[in-house]
Chains A and B, each alone.
Chain A
């Protein structure tokens, strides 16, 4: 019955997937991750360079833009695999997000090139405590100073903020409009609060105190580029979550097959079989939700934003449950740092906080759904 259908991955995608899987098993095994996280390491520039060498940072970007071609579906395959592999390095937030944002605003070819080659690590400081995914809710100020601008205020959840070479910062200009600013990360006027995120990946607060920066975009063009890059990044985070769900199932199924209590393997209990059946069902649904969001990335901005927000709300709910069950089925071992399963759950919790939690995204989707209904009724 499957013979009629066309394969769901192209030959190129199959190669990308194989390469990403090999990368995870060879370069980023769990034991190595555990050593790094114990030592407080959030990001390894050598690993970052290896990812660049594989061509991942230019994937999905046209050749004119400095990339290697390919589609966002290809990028999502990598994101999913890195989610499954619990790779610490922030592929989505420090490669996909800044590169697409820069391509969106135009210019900045030097920096795009250095992102693609892995030479420069770029962090996007877009979030603030009150933003919750609304990238236009910005309190950080930019005031003209000499030929440039002076930035003041606090950005939260800056992924890569500890290791970046270059920062892209959103800020509000004196006339109330928004701008995107570029500056070197290492400066006395940029200080940090916090150390890392709960899944041990990179992320912290950056405080700007009269930090001198260059304006690289502003007005509507910048707002459109930022919203588009956000939706692309959110979709990739959702793909990572799908990877985490898949990984949860892949470590839990053998665990409960081997673990014996009451003289039998845990997997012989039908209650646990059904639990895992539900986890598998949710994985399939979640992957479809991401593919659907990918199909909306070229849609008009309001539709695109709503569909991506809806995808995030759904994937976060399904992923949270599946990764919780992974812990539950491991018993006490699930709570420990020694076992892989708990890291998947922490990843789901961390991605939930990024760009607004599931309630916030669900209410944004709800608003869109209702306005579509009103339009149709008129």
Chain B
């Protein structure tokens, strides 16, 4: 099945909507909409539901269980899932490590690791960044020393998202300290239960603990858990980061979800006795953002339809979408929080992280919890996935060809 015409896409959209109506549990959708990051059981649980339908890995080739959709269908699918409040799946597994295993892994690695990712059975976390290797990732210092059939890993990672949910960790370590920065790095798959590996939470500004530090103290990893060749890890990483930016950078579906939320709440909230949406300053700001979201959406559609062309930004389009998409998400979540007036200032406990708080009464309207957390999370979006300044450097490079 590979729809291309507008009619076919329309039919496909309806099919996805019907499926979501039938299969997305209400409580899961409610949690998916609240703005806190998805809990482990929701990410994996939703992935399991999708797997039964054969829809859990839209981006994968058919030989690995992908549904064989066109790029446009995948986009429509993502959008409908977002609008329905489906939880975010484990992107580290499905979107980042799996394509690397498919492209560069051994047959044994493919057989062992891909099915549990497809079926939502394991949670993967990404261990690239280090305290002193952020934007300059290639300067990473964690080392892997070969001893017989094993590597012994020592060092520290930081900013590992959802570290506390992790079952498996894909990570980079230096295998040749003598070589040029990029040339001495290898790519490993590590079970987080391996002795010597410790994960510690970091508290972020909104009070949740999705970020972690990961410490490696003589962690022994079988050679069979190295992906591809020794010292070629940087090439695989570039491939992975390109996928990350191309598929997730613009986050167009989430932008549309923010617009919809703002409109819903701004009809209920009032200012000077009138619905907030009738306040001209507010409405103008919303209209400007909507125009920009639609143009970003159109850009994504153009890339899907025509690939990279000179007129849509060429090789820089991934960076262009990342910069503009994340900035828009920030402006939208700013407005979202402003929409709820006084309650935009309140601290709300992360009910996806502390489920026991779920049914507790709280101040403000039922949609207030999670909006502030989402704003803070979006603040980070211009930092992670290659900071926006670094993306601008990439865009400038294509302009001036230096």
Q: Which residues of A contact B (CB under 8 A)?
A: 127, 129-132, 134, 137, 156-157, 193-200, 203-205, 260-263, 269, 271-272, 320, 324, 327-328, 331-332, 334-338, 342-343, 345-346, 349-350, 352-354, 356-360, 362-363, 366
Contact = CB atoms under 8 A, between A and B. Distances in A.
B307 interface: no
A129 B362 contact: no
B347 A335 contact: no
B165 to A, nearest CB: 18
Nearest to A134: B272
B217 interface: no
Interface of B: 129, 132, 134-136, 139, 158-159, 202-207, 211, 270-273, 279-282, 285, 330, 334, 337-338, 341-347, 361-364, 372, 375-376, 379-380, 382-384, 387-389, 392-393
B205 A346 contact: yes
Given A156-B343, A335-B204, A349-B345, A363 B158 contact: no
Which residue among B136, B338, B387 has the maximum number of chain A CB atoms within 10 Å of its CB? B338
Nearest to B393: A271
B219 to A, nearest CB: 23
A335 B387 CA distance: 13
Given A134-B272, A200-B347, A332-B384, A156 B392 contact: no
Given A332-B384, A346-B205, A359 B338 contact: yes
A350 B202 contact: no
A370 B134 CA distance: 50
A205 B134 contact: no
Given A156-B342, A204-B346, A335-B211, 10 more contacts: A193-B361, A198-B206, A332-B134, A332-B211, A335-B380, A337-B203, A337-B204, A337-B207, A353-B342, A360-B272
A349 B363 contact: no
Contacts of B384: 332
B345 A336 contact: no
Contacts of A131: 342
A198 B279 contact: no
Nearest to B205: A342
Return the 8 tightest CB-CB contacts between A and B, nearest first.
A194-B363, A353-B345, A261-B136, A193-B363, A157-B342, A337-B203, A156-B342, A357-B338
Contacts of B285: 359
A336 B279 contact: no
B346 A197 contact: yes
Nearest to B273: A137
Given A331-B383, A359-B285, A338 B344 contact: no
Contacts of B271: 130, 132, 356, 360
Contact of B346 (A203, A262, A342, A360): A203
A352 B281 contact: no
Contacts of A331: 134-135, 383, 387
A261 B389 CA distance: 13
A329 to B, nearest CB: 9
A363 B364 CA distance: 24
Contacts of B393: 271
Nearest to A264: B136
B189 to A, nearest CB: 24
23 contacts: A129-B341, A129-B364, A130-B273, A130-B341, A157-B342, A194-B346, A194-B347, A195-B347, A197-B347, A199-B345, A204-B363, A205-B364, A260-B132, A263-B136, A320-B334, A328-B387, A328-B389, A331-B134, A332-B134, A332-B211, A336-B205, A352-B345, A366-B281
Contacts of B382: 328
B376 A157 contact: no
B347 A336 contact: no
